[in-house]
Chains A and B, each alone.
Chain A
Amino acid sequence: MIYKNCLKNAFLLLCVVFLAACEEPYTPEVLEGQNNFLVVSGFINSNGPTTIRLSRTQNLSESGGPVMEQGATVQVEEENGIKFPLLETNPGTYSSNFLPLISSKRYRLVIKTAGKDYASDYVEVKQTPSIDNVTWKAESDGLQIFVSTHDVQNKTRYYRWEYEETWEYSAFYYSGLEYVNGEMRNRAPENSIYLCWRNFKSSNINLGNTVKLSQDVVSNFPLIKVPSNSDKIDRKYSILVKQYAQSKESYEYYEALKKNTESIGTLFDPLPTQLTGNIHSVSAPSEPVIGFINISSVTEKRIFVSRSELPLNWGSPRMFCTLDTVLLGEESTHFNGGYNIPIHELLTETNVLIGYASASRPCGDCRVYGVNVKPDFWQ
């Protein structure tokens, strides 16, 4: 609730007022639990490919990526009707193409792992209204992105958003040369490592509802704020917003998940709760299964924001970069291994080549942070 958040701010504010250190990292003794609960993530898409990922929980102290659940049988079942199997396309990832779901019917997800059966509750199919627009505003401390939508039928009411940010950026130096197979040559335009693109998928949970409004209208929901000193807005920034209609139960699940993982701990926040999803173990009903299956379509919208549209004093702090001189004959020792990038030729006043200007890789090669392939959608 907004009220709770405000109270938390109040609290931090008081901390500052009374000059006492407030928040500090804390790691309790390693907690060992029974840590192989099934985790189901993904959703059933009513007008596109469906992807479900199965994994297992891990101890907090364990490092490494998720432990995927392989070799399971996963299918979407219509209530008293047809079954659509999902195929394991990657370890733990089960997908199908477009599923012909009927919006008046209810469906569930059924999972069979080694020796155990799981099934979700039957879920109704929600239609996601299209996004009216995604807008932005240059606020004093950064670029605020808003999303607006509405449902003329007043039926959606609960919304969840994900987004993918993509931004164009450049290396500090423009490298016009490349050193390939012991040979220095002019860099071909298609091999340019000056301009790159990077993207980032949202990791937080963005929820909005209109239940307290007389119409199902989301007006300028603040989705994300890009700080004014972020490198995301050094050249050009783009955001793709994905909108998912939620059932009330699914919304509440995500809300609880958000509370649990994004804002808990001050006394003004609600106590963390054990999440109860809509997936259950058929054989052992008390076994926790993590995840909530929702069925909906997805709508998307993308916008671009150029540097020139934003205040002049914004920008990220520049990297500290200098050029080295590499004399002829030293090329192989200097440029092999790719730690240094040739930038341009060094000529005498009489245009005699005596060597090359060189920069460290982060200063000359934008691919350190992203890819130099322009995305298809880039304008």
Chain B
Amino acid sequence: MTQLYRIAFLLSVMMLFGAATSSAQTAGEPLLSLHLKEASFEDFVREIESKSDYRFFYEPATVDSLKISVEVTQKSLSSILAQVLPEAKLSFAITPQGYVMITQGKEFMANLPEGFFNREAVPTQGRPAARPSSGAQPYVAGEKDKKKATSEAKLYVIGVQRENASGRANLAGHLRDAKSGEAIIGASVYIQSPLLATTSDQYGYFSLTLPIGQHDLLIRGIGIKNSKRRIALYSDGKLDIEVEEDVRSLKEVLVEAEKDRNVAGMQMGMERLDMRAIKQVPTAFGETDILRVVLTLPGVKSVGEGSTGMNVRGGSTDQNLILFNDATVYNPSHLFGFFSAFNPDIIKTVELHKSNIPARYGGRLSSVLEVVTRDGNKKKFSGSGGLGLLTSRLTLEGPIAKDKTSFMVAGRSTYSDWLLKKLPQESFKKSSASFYDVNAQINHEFDSKNTLYVSGYLSKDRFRLGSDTLYSFANHNASVKWKHIFHNQLYSVVTAAYSQYGYDVNSENNPVNASHMSFGMNQANLQADFNYFLNSKHTIDFGASSILYNVKPGSLQPVGSESLIMPDVLQRERALESALYVSDQIDISPRFSVYVGLRYSMFNALGPREVYAYAPNVPKSESTILDTLSYGSGKSFAKYHGPEYRVSARFGLTEHSSVKMSYNRMRQYIHMLSNTATMSPTDTWKLSDANIRPQVGDQIALGYYQNFRNNTVEFSVEGYYKKMKDFLDYRNGATIILNHHIETEVANAEGKAYGVEVMLKKLTGKLNGWVSYTYSRTLVRLNNPQVSELINQGKWYPSNFDKPHDVTLISNYRFSQRFSTSLNFTYSTGRPITLPIAKYYDGNVARIYYSDRNQYRVPDYYRVDFAMNIEGNHKVKKLAHSSWTLAVYNLTGRKNPYSVYFRSENGQIKGYKLSIFGQPIPTITYNFRF
């Protein structure tokens, strides 16, 4: 390939001098007649060369699989090639000398841009820049008239040219996919000399201040072809760039994805996954699962296999802010956590922030997981879907108004009910379990400055076990975002979002106890974010947000006239959380940059509420209630506020290595109540109030980053130390459900976590993937006798998810474009457990006495997964593109203990080990796209 470019370059230099003043050759071309069927490209060339004076230049490897059938009489060569080549994704150019250049990917420029040698004379408006031999319209980009830059060869003239202009000008625009019109996130846009770079944001927007003059603007990103645009920048202007998706070719592909973000970017403790990486990781049920992949990242752990609750750097599962198109998702799982609640077909990117959390985000202690869906195809109607053993999904998308408005709807459902009915055991036949989720969204571009994004999401689970109790839970989310560009350097996004989560438990077996229990909460947020690209040294973000929470903490209602259940309704809780923030990213020199941010958050617990007042300095209990205070509607009865600092710095050691450090503080005003180790559907959420203080966490992190082999291999080491104050731990034997004074069951615990994460990542080439090692500890202490009874005599003890050693390998090997394999390996230390240490007899029954909390560990965990991905053929015209995924989860069949427990059976104490997926689980999934 490189050799081809070398030849092409030499040739082009040769051509350029020869063709300096001529224009593209279309007139006067000799006419040809050809009759070929399934001919090789070489035959095709030989035929033409024999009939004319044309000489062909091409790389044989790019055409060796090409078969040409052509039936033309008296046509020009350019029209024949235009008919034959696009199917094979090849471009051509014909020089005045009659040389025909066939290239793959990049177009060969047969002519210099007009005015190349005569810059002074070029008028700035309406004047064609040079064009290759394709039929596109000539184009000059201007301030008013914003168009799409699709060609690498054209010179795009931006702004109004003035005599002797000097200084700098700003260039801004959107990066989009040429096929679907999707915004491209996180791609680097830069010039090389001087090195000035920026990264496209989540709307694909970039803004870059450059010296006036001509530049080669380079664009690199995951999943797109590397490309460049030639620009002549004279004053501030806009340029929307459309780039091609990186379709894996039969031969080598060079993806230089965000090549040096690891080293050159400001972010630390941040991982961005795109769907391509996610889809390569095998899962237990053959369905792509973003949370499952997030769990393979260093610093992210889960308690057990069937759980999507994440523990990020020693934080508990409620300390993660999960945003789905900017709306908060409270329960990101389906079917007890065996599936994640996000339909993989519509996801564009998943971003996880573990440290150095931007000031824009707040409200959770440990991490921000941002899930962004695709915009929907703006160019043509298309669809995709999949059939798996347990679920099926379908997505439809397309333009409503081409290039302006697009829509996308997606649905996913399960048929496990059917599976349950097939089981032999009676009680399972009465069971049912089902879930579905639906997404719908519309994006509309009013004009080049205003874009509206509307997105809705619904997920619902229902399950009945045995014949007695019916559970259901549901997430409802909606968000509206309006993006407005004031001018090149300043844009705003105003977001209104609404999230609702709730569950119901119905039990109707015994008429006397028939009941209905429910929990529900919602939040409405309004947020305004501003991005100001002040100049090449400062990027300033500022904004404000407000969240209104409404929680119905629980109610129990009788069902039917016979029921003796007493209605029991916990008081509603309301609160307002507001925040202001400002941050500045300062590029002091190309080597040294600093991010300084401050977020100030305020929380008001609002009435109407009746609040217990407890005796001070003794553990809160029913017997220490002194008084009941009553507050009217809308009255604030508890107020918390405080600054959240977000600071980080990057120092480039060499071109390929850097050191970064960060400090941030987070405050969290909402807490999950659960006395089980994982997230379960009956977990409830509780707002801070007069008796429950907000959680505060501080984290400092230090990292070293180095890229090798032309930035294709990334290496990073990050260490962190984290302190958490006032997070909730449970007192022994706590009762959580329908408790009117939950503050008597929980205790404000202290936590600390520290660790080192080492990661080696290769995202390009036939063999790609990552390997990571994490050492981390997370410890808890309850040592204040004024708060609760002491746990483990007030000493530090490991939290439920303390797993010191963790090794993960994710590897993919692509044999060909149609066949790739993936092999993953995970090892981690077993999680802590409280073990029985003694037995005794209570009457005639043997019972057990337990050790200190979390004093022992379950056996270590390891697992190997394997997957094969077989793509259908690559004919351009066919009904649907399809692929098959065959995967084996837990290839070695290791019975990893999910938990270890002891039971007293017939007076004897027996230990048991529970493992799920204790044997290899093969799955097959059929995916399609049309």
State which of B428, B512, B682, B842 has its C-beta within 8 Å of the C-beta of A16. B428
Most buried by A among B306, B556, B841, B912: B841
Per-position binary interface string of chain A over residues 13-44, scored 1 when its CB falls under 8 Å from any chain B CB and 0 otherwise? 11111111111111110010101010101100
Binds B, one of A98-106, A126-134, A259-267, A309-317: A259-267
Flag if B837 contacts A53 (CB, 8 Å).
no
- Cross-chain contact A212 with B566 (CB below 8 angstroms): yes
B849 located at the interface, meaning its Cβ lies under 8 Å from any Cβ of chain A in the complex:
yes
User: Does A66 sit at the interface, judged by CB under 8 A?
Assistant: yes
The interface stretch among B4-12, B419-427, B586-594 is B419-427
CB proximity of B544 to chain A, nearest CB, Å: 40
Which residues 140-155 in A have Cβ within 8 Å of B in the complex?
140
From B510, B733, B897, give the contact of A256 (CB < 8 A): B733
Q: A25-B912, A31-B837, A58-B840 are known contacts. Are A256 and B732 too (CB-CB below 8 A)?
A: yes
Q: Is B526 an interface residue (CB 8 A)?
A: no
Which residues of the other chain, B, contact A306 by a CB distance below 8 angstroms?
none
**B465 near A66: Cβ-Cβ < 8 Å:** no
Select one of B425, B556, B912 contacting A23, CB under 8 A: B912
Contact pattern, B 397-441, Cβ under 8 Å of A = 1, otherwise 0: 000000000000000000010011001011010010100000000
Q: Which chain B residues (879-930) contact chain A, with CB distance < 8 Å?
A: 895, 897-904, 906-907, 909-919, 921
Instruction: Answer yes or no: B835 CB below 8 A from chain A CBs.
Output: yes
Given contacts A37-B849, A261-B903, A267-B306, contact A18 B917 (CB under 8 A): yes
Select which of A14, A22, A273 is within 8 A of B338 by beta carbon.
Answer: A14
In this assembly, does A9 line the interface, its C-beta being within 8 Å of a C-beta of chain B? yes
Out of A1, A17, A24, A39, which one reaches B841, CB within 8 Å?
A39
Say yes or no for A290: interface residue by CB 8 A criterion.
yes
Tell whether A18 pairs with B921 under 8 Å between CB atoms, given A7-B336, A33-B851, A288-B849: yes
Interface centre among B463, B839, B917, B921 (most CB of A within 10 A): B839
Q: Is the CB of A271 within 8 A of B675?
A: yes
Contact with A along B198-238 (1 / 0, CB 8 A): 00000000000000000000000000000000000000000
Which residues A170-203 have CB closer than 8 A to chain B?
201, 203
Task: Please determine whether A16 and B904 come into contact, CB atoms closer than 8 angstroms.
Answer: no
Q: Does A324 contact B (CB under 8 A)?
A: no
In the assembled complex, which residues on chain B have CB atoms less than 8 Å from the CB atom of A212?
Answer: 556, 565-566, 568, 738
Residues of A within 8 A of B307 (CB): 267
- Residue A300 at the B interface, CB < 8 A? no
- B847 to chain A minimum Cβ distance, whole angstroms, is 5
CB-nearest residue of chain B relative to A32?
Answer: B837
CB–CB B837/A28 < 8 A: no
Which stretch, A70-78, A215-223, A335-343, A369-377, touches the partner chain B?
A215-223
The reply to whether B839 and A201 form a contact with Cβ atoms under 8 Å apart is no
Chain A: minimal CB distance from B754 (Å): 24
Docked-complex contact B431 and A13, CB < 8 angstroms: yes
Give, as a whole number of angstroms, the nearest-CB distance from A145 to chain B. 15
Q: Are A265 and B789 in contact (CB under 8 A)?
A: no
Cβ-closest chain B residue relative to A24: B913
- Chain A residues with CB under 8 Å of B556's CB are 212
Residues on A with beta carbons closer than 8 Å to the beta carbon of B835: 28, 31
Q: Are B847 and A257 in contact (CB under 8 A)?
A: yes
- Chain B: interface size category: 35 or more
Task: State how many residues of chain A have any CB contact under 8 Å with chain B.
Answer: 78
Closest Cβ of chain A: how far from B422's Cβ, in Å?
10
Q: Taking the complex as formed, is A2 at the interface, i.e. its CB lies under 8 A from any CB of chain B?
A: yes
Complex Cα gap A2–B735 (Å):
12
- Most interface-central of B426, B505, B834, B910 (chain A CB within 10 A): B834
Does A272 interact with chain B (Cβ within 8 Å)? yes
For the complex, give the distance between the alpha carbons of A76 and B734 in Å.
31
Given the known A-B contacts A22-B918, A23-B913, are A290 and B840 also in contact in the complex, defined by CB atoms under 8 Å?
Answer: yes
- Write out the residue numbers on chain A whose beta carbons fall within 8 Å of the beta carbon of B335: 14
Give every chain B residue within 8 A of A37 (Cβ-Cβ).
838, 840, 849
B793 in contact with A286 (CB, 8 Å)? yes
B468 partner residues in chain A, CB cutoff 8 A: 6
Bound: A56/B849 CA distance, A: 11
Cross-chain contact of B895 among A21, A42, A214, A268 (Cβ < 8 A) = A21
A275 to B789, CA, bound (A): 12
**What's the Cα separation between A267 and B304 when bound, in Å?**
8
In the complex, whether A354 has a CB less than 8 A from a CB of chain B is no
Chain A positions within 8 Å of B450 at CB level: none
Closest Cβ of chain A to B893, distance in Å, is: 9
Question: When the two chains form their complex, are residues A14 and B336 in contact, meaning their CB atoms are under 8 A apart?
Answer: yes
**With contacts A35-B837, A212-B568, A256-B732 known, is A262 near B904, CB below 8 A?**
yes
Contact B463–A10 (Cβ < 8 Å): yes
What's the Cα separation between A274 and B568 when bound, in Å? 30
How far, in Å, is A91 (CB) from chain B's closest CB?
13
Quick one: which of B800, B902, B904 contacts A265, CB cutoff 8 A? B902
Question: Is A20 in contact with B917, judged by CB distance below 8 angstroms?
Answer: yes
Specify which of A33, A140, A273 is in contact with B733 (CB 8 Å cutoff): A273
> Which residues of chain B are within 8 angstroms of A266 by Cβ–Cβ distance?
898-899, 901, 914
- Cα separation A262 to B681 with both chains bound (whole Å): 23
A-chain residues with CB within 8 Å of residue B319 when the two chains form the complex: none
Tell me if A269 is interfacial: C-beta within 8 Å of chain B. Answer: yes
Q: Which residues of A contact B433 (CB under 8 A)?
A: 10
| Residues of chain B lying within 8 A (CB to CB) of residue A6 | 465-466, 468-469, 471
Task: Decide if B625 is an interface residue (CB 8 Å cutoff).
Answer: no
Instruction: From the candidates A16, A17, A21, A33, name the one contacting B838 in the complex (CB within 8 A).
Output: A33
Chain B 474-516 against A: per-residue CB contact (8 Å), 1 yes, 0 no? 0000000000000000000000000000000101001011000
Residues of chain A with a CB closer than 8 A to B844's CB: 201, 203
A264–B680 CB distance below 8 A: no
B800 touches A10 (CB 8 A): no
Is the CB of A276 closer than 8 A to any CB of chain B? yes
27 residue pairs A–B, Cβ–Cβ below 8 Å = A3-B682, A6-B468, A13-B428, A15-B916, A18-B916, A18-B917, A20-B918, A20-B919, A22-B918, A25-B911, A28-B835, A31-B835, A31-B836, A35-B837, A56-B840, A58-B838, A60-B836, A66-B841, A213-B564, A220-B512, A261-B848, A263-B903, A266-B901, A267-B306, A270-B675, A274-B732, A275-B849
10 closest residue pairs by CB, A with B: A265-B901, A26-B913, A33-B837, A57-B838, A66-B841, A273-B732, A203-B845, A39-B840, A57-B840, A219-B512
Which chain B residues have a beta carbon within 8 Å of chain A's beta carbons?
284, 303-304, 306-307, 335-336, 338, 416, 419-420, 423, 425-426, 428, 431, 433, 463, 465-466, 468-469, 471, 505, 507, 510, 512-513, 556, 564-566, 568, 675-678, 680-682, 732-734, 737-738, 789, 793, 800, 834-845, 847-853, 856, 895, 897-904, 906-907, 909-919, 921
